[in-house]
């Protein structure tokens, strides 16, 4: 169920070769929204990312997101930006709003131009579709190699009434978000009828993203198009949130983004299981983050996980190149609840039991640094044969 005042829909416009595949989506609020945005930290930014960053610096309120799959509109120069802006103007004409009230997002193959004529011809149908408020069709329109649509909604009670949060995401390859403030492919659109000032919304968004989207990795590659957009239109009529209500909202947003982040990690291209890398007892939180990220992105660790091989030596080796000063003679490694290495050395453990743990759809690996009290989590997946097959022929 969408929050009050929001509409969305999706159609096939001709970007995707498969005529049954949606590739053009629209998310719309019938009243202006405050918006928070976070985007890829890559120096190579797609045209829609550059447009959104520029618009969020210039304008205060927005009403729509236009998104497409099948074409990333990245590395397309001035024409890429011009094409995206033309699509915005066409959609704005049918929505009867200003074209600067629209933000854009794209995902797909890098280096291709948008099929502008096909998209423009499809705009009237797309705008008409949002009347149905079809969440599923909209989410399906931003999918690429995802195996299922990822979206959730949540209701929360605050002192002045009820607020709804609805969120969707896509991503199963080129996933290692390094999302920053106004400075995905992972795309996430979050809609809420809460009333928040832009600075409030930006702050709660950055907190939520830090503990969710920025803690997942499928393949270690940060996309040119990673985008998170959060729209708040205030139609819940709950008014300005007091500090306690803002904490409730923050917690709910954290839960929503973490659930979606885990969905992406478990739906990694060719993935057979999701793994939580938990690094604890470091001196600094940043140290735990670096170690967890390095282990989560190690090809040797991820292939061992695919084979359900309790090869703790690969974990320790990855840790050693994380750029964090630790004492390797104090490190313990657990697979599930089984200790596989103690003080940086092998211990006898039940290999069969460890293998069964690694064969589960979700499992946890814990690395105890024994140097402090800080910790961090990362969610990743295994590397399977299918990952190579999918990415070896992605353009074809």
Question: Catalytic residue numbers?
Answer: 185
Angle between helices 198-210 and 243-266 (to 10 degrees): 40
- Closest to 229 in 3D by CA, of 184, 162, 262: 184
Q: Token match 């949130």: residue?
A: 241
- The three-state DSSP-derived secondary structure of 205-219 is HHHHHHCCHHHEECC
Q: Please report, for residues 79, 127, 342, the alpha-carbon distance to residue 92 in angstroms, rounded to integers and kept in the order given.
A: 20, 10, 62
Q: Distance between terminal CA atoms of the chain?
A: 36
**CA separation for the pair 185, 204 (Å, rounded):** 23
Paired residues of 365 in beta bridges: 277, 335
Instruction: Output b/e per residue, 75-105; b: 16+ Cβ within 10 A.
Output: ebeeebbebbbebbebbbeebebebebbbbb
């Amino acid at each position: 169920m969408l929050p009050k005042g929001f509409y969305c829909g999706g159609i096939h416009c001709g970007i995707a070769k498969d005529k049954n595949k949606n590739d053009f989506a629209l998310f719309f609020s019938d009243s202006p929204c405050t918006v928070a945005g976070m985007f890829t930290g890559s120096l190579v930014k797609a045209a829609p990312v550059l447009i959104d960053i520029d618009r969020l610096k210039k304008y205060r309120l927005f009403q729509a997101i236009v998104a497409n799959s099948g074409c990333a509109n990245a590395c397309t120069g001035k024409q890429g930006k011009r094409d995206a802006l033309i699509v915005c103007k066409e959609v704005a004409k049918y929505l009867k709003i200003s074209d600067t009230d629209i933000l854009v997002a794209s995902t797909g193959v890098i280096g291709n131009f948008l099929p502008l004529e096909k998209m423009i011809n499809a705009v009237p149908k797309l705008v008409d579709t949002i009347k149905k408020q079809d969440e599923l069709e909209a989410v399906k329109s931003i999918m690429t190699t995802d195996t299922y649509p990822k979206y959730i909604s949540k209701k929360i009670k605050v002192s002045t009434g009820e607020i709804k949060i609805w969120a969707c995401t896509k991503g199963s390859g080129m996933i290692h978000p390094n999302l920053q403030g106004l400075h995905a492919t992972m795309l996430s659109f979050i809609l809420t009828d809460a009333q928040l000032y832009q600075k409030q919304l930006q702050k709660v968004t950055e907190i939520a993203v830090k503990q969710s989207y920025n803690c997942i990795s499928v393949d270690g590659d940060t996309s040119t198009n990673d985008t998170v957009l959060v729209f708040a239109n205030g139609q819940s009529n709950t008014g300005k949130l007091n500090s306690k209500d803002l904490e409730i909202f923050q917690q709910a947003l954290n839960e929503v983004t973490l659930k979606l982040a885990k969905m992406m990690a478990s739906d990694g291209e060719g993935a057979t299981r999701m793994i939580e890398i938990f690094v604890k007892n470091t001196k600094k939180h940043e140290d735990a983050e670096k170690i967890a990220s390095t282990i989560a992105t190690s090809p040797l660790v991820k292939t061992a996980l695919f084979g359900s091989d309790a090869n703790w030596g690969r974990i320790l080796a990855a840790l050693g190149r994380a750029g964090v000063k630790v004492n390797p003679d104090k490190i313990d490694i657990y697979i599930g609840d089984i200790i596989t290495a103690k003080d940086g050395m092998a211990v006898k453990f039940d290999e069969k039991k460890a293998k069964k743990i690694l064969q589960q759809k979700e499992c946890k690996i814990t690395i105890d640094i024994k140097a402090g009290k800080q910790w961090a989590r990362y969610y990743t997946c295994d590397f399977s044969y299918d990952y190579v097959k999918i990415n070896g022929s992605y353009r074809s």
